Structure 1
Amino acid sequence: MQLFSTFEHSVHIELAVATLEKKGIPKEAIFVVPVDNRLEKRKMFDTLHRSDGTSLIDIGAALGTACAVISASIGFKLSWGPIYWGLIGAAGGFIIGLIIRLVTELIIKKKKRLLKGFHSEIIVIIDCAESDGDMVENILFSHFALGVGKVI
């Protein structure tokens, strides 16, 4: 049986490995792999094959519609007329909404993304007998493993 577990990079991994060795798991049956985290920044714009579920044009569309209605209403009194002023208002509102959304995504939500969640940096693979599986799993969880998976 093999057990796979993930840890944050800390002393708890060393303590877990030492405890497993004391309980009779040989050193050759324990394999520790450091995982390289992504160094490149996340992409802002979605592609056809990848989407993060965040829309950049939702606020722009709403503001564009609102500004188009207001500027078309005012355009009846102005020299270019309601159609031109409605188009100008729609473009201006869309650009303002797009700028608002870009600022919130790039500045405000970037800080939240950096603070949120755990980054799994170490994978520990343990090869043991099925009778030792529960004991090994309990040891890993008691040393703050983020997750444990079994393969029989």
Structure 2
Amino acid sequence: MQLFSTFQHTVHTEMAIATLEKKGIKKEDIFVVPLDNRMEERIVFDNINRSDGTSLIDIGAALATVFSVIGASIGFKLAWGPIYWGLIGAAIGALIGFAIRLFTEIIIKKKRRLLKGFQSELIVIVDCKDSQAEMVENILFSHYALGVAKVK
């Protein structure tokens, strides 16, 4: 039976391997593979195949509404009239809102676009007998494995 588990690269991984060796698992039956994590930056603009769930037009739509009402109200006193000034206000509000949202996504939330939570950095593969599988699984979980899978 093989047990696959993922770990962060910490001292707990070394402790788990040492504990497995003390419990009778041979050194040749333990295989550790480091993973290469994604280092490229996430894209801000979505495409048809992939979306990250954030909207860039939500603030723009709200500001477009506000600015169009204000522009239409002031437009009664101006030369072009309320319709043109309402449309101009809506366009200005939408552009300001889009710029604010784009600024927050690119500059302020840059760290949030990275992978969230714990990242798996190591895969530990253990070959053992079926009778040892439960013990090995308990040892791996007690040393903070992120996940464990059994394969017969």
TM more than 0.5: yes
RMSD: 1.7
Q: Identify the residue that residue 46 of structure 1 maps to in structure 2.
A: 46
Structure 2 counterpart of 1:36: 36
Residue type at the aligned position of 1:128: C
Mapped to 1, the partners of 2:18 and 2:40 lie a distance apart of 35
Q: C-alpha separation between the residues in 1 aligned to 2:36 and 2:102?
A: 29
Q: Distance in 2 between matches of 1:51 and 1:89?
A: 30
1:75 maps to 75
Equivalent position SS for 1:125? strand
TM-score in terms of structure 2 length? 0.91
Structure 2 Cα separation of the partners of residues 100 and 86 of structure 1:
21
3-state SS of 1:110 partner: coil
Aligned residue for 2:131?
A: 131
Asked if structure 1 preserves the Cα contact closer than 8 Å seen for 2:60 and 2:97, the reply is yes
- Identity %, equivalent residues: 74
Runs of 4+ in 1 over 4 A off after TM superposition: 112-116
- Distance in 2 (CA, whole Å) between partners of 1:112 and 1:37 is 16
Residue number in structure 2 paired with 1:106: 106
Q: Which amino acid aligns with 2:81?
A: G
- Counterpart-to-counterpart distance in 2, 1:115 and 1:29: 32
> Structure 1 residue 90 and structure 2 residue 85: aligned?
no
- Give, in whole Å, the separation in 2 of the partners of 1:131 and 1:103: 57
For 1:118, the equivalent position in structure 2 comes to 118
- Aligned 8 A contact 2:46 2:52 in 1: yes
Local SS of the residue matching 1:46: coil
**Unaligned stretches of 5+ in structure 2?**
none
Q: Distance in 1 between matches of 2:103 and 2:72?
A: 28
TM-score of the superposed pair, with normalisation by structure 1: 0.91
1:40-91 CA-to-partner distances (Å, cap 9, x unmatched) read 1011111110001111111101111221122012111101111221111011
Q: Which amino acid aligns with 1:104?
A: T
Q: Which residue of 1 aligns with 2:59?
A: 59
Aligned-pair CA distance for 1:116 = 5.1
The alignment partner of 1:12 has SS state of helix
What does residue 20 of structure 1 align with?
20
Give the Cα separation in 1 of the matches to 2:52 and 2:122.
26
Amino acid aligned to 1:43: I
Q: What is the CA deviation profile of residues 68-115 of structure 1, one whole-angstrom value per residue up to 9, with x for unaligned ones?
A: 122012111101111221111011101111122122222332344569
